[in-house]
Each structure stands twice: as structure tokens, then as C-alpha cells.
Amino acid sequence: MNKGLESDNTEGVRDLRQTLQSLKEVWMNIGLERVDNHEGISVKVLLDNGAMGMFADRKFIEKNGFKLEKLERLVRIQNVNRTGNSGGLVTHEIEVNVYYQGHVERIKLDVCNLGKTEVILGILWLAIHNLEINWETREVKMTRYLMLCGKNREKKEKRELRKRRE
């Protein structure tokens, strides 16, 4: 009888681990637009609250012809397992327009090696956008933004400009 209980308990633990592992990753499809020629592509991005920055994969960037901008200072980044990134120091970034559910903003992405992941949006971006995530369906909604978000700054500036004109 104990063997049956242990087996059931082990299965429950395994199911819980699989569930927790799947909750770590949330993906969403966004539009990325090159700022130099306004050509756009759809890309699957990883929302990663463990990442401190915003990153684009070097091979993905080269394949899609994004214009690289050299950084004034090199940046050292670590992978999730605390090892150095295989691409070494970050030497370049790209500037892109991001489109998602009517939201548009211009951001800069550090270029590094991400393997199979094309773009990662980290904790700062996530905190500024305060996304609504349905963990069961993985649906992501952008219904609330902090004032730091470019979309809200523009709205605030327009309101202030209207007030001055009145």
C-alpha cells in the first residue's frame, strides 16, 4: 500500500515540476521594424523576468539586415547559468520600433548570442509595461503602462501641450 502512495506522490511532484517549468517561459509575437527603412518582420520574443536587459540574437540581426550601432562602452553579460555569453562582450546594439496590440515604441536591443531565441525582453521592459498574462492560455495583454513607457510619455506631453495652448 505504501508503494502505491509513494508512486502517486512521485507523479504529483513530477507534474508540479513540469507545470512550474512551463510557467517560467512566456512567449509573444511582436512586430519589429527597422528604423532605417521601416521594413517590418514578425518575431517570437521571450519575456524573461530574470534578464536585466533587452537582447537580440546576433545571427537573427544579421539575417534580417538590422543596422548595428557600436556601443561606446562594451558590456559584459552572463547567461542564466552565470557563465559568460559565448559571443563575448556586447559591442553593438540595434534600434527598432516594437509593435504589439496597438502599442508602438522605439527601443534599443543589445546584440549577443541567444542561440535559438531571437529576442529577449527583460525585467525592466516587463516592469514598465506591467503586462496582463493569462498563465493558463499564455495570452499577453498590454492594457496598463507605467509613465516610463514611451506611449504614456507621449500622451502626457500631448496633454501638457494642449493645456499650454488653452
CATH code, 97: 2.40.70.10
pLDDT at 85: 77
User: Mind listing the pLDDT tens digit for each residue in 106-122?
Assistant: 999 999 999 999 999 99
Please indicate, yes or no, if residue 6 is contained in any of the structural domains.
Answer: no
Please indicate, yes or no, if residue 20 is contained in any of the structural domains.
Answer: no
Please indicate, yes or no, if residue 150 is contained in any of the structural domains.
Answer: yes
Who wins on pLDDT, 139 or 92?
Answer: 92
Name the phi and psi angles at 119, rounded to 5: -145, 140
Beta strand segments in 48-137, E: 54-57, 69-75, 90-100, 103-112, 119-121, 132-134
In Å, the largest CA–CA distance within the chain is 81
Full domain range(s) for residue 36:
25-165
Please indicate, yes or no, if residue 139 is contained in any of the structural domains.
Answer: yes
Please indicate, yes or no, if residue 73 is contained in any of the structural domains.
Answer: yes
pLDDT class of 6 with cuts at 50, 70, 90:
very low
Mean pLDDT of 61-80: 90
Contacts of 57 (CB under 8 A, 6+ apart): 111, 112, 113, 114, 115, 117, 118, 119
Please indicate, yes or no, if residue 5 is contained in any of the structural domains.
Answer: no
pLDDT class of 163 with cuts at 50, 70, 90:
low
pLDDT at 68: 96
One-letter amino acid at 91 equals: T
Please indicate, yes or no, if residue 77 is contained in any of the structural domains.
Answer: yes
Mean pLDDT of 126-130: 88
Please indicate, yes or no, if residue 99 is contained in any of the structural domains.
Answer: yes
Please, are residues 133 and 144 in contact by the beta-carbon 8 Å criterion? no
CA 119 – CA 110 distance, rounded (Å): 10
Q: How many domains does the chain have?
A: 1
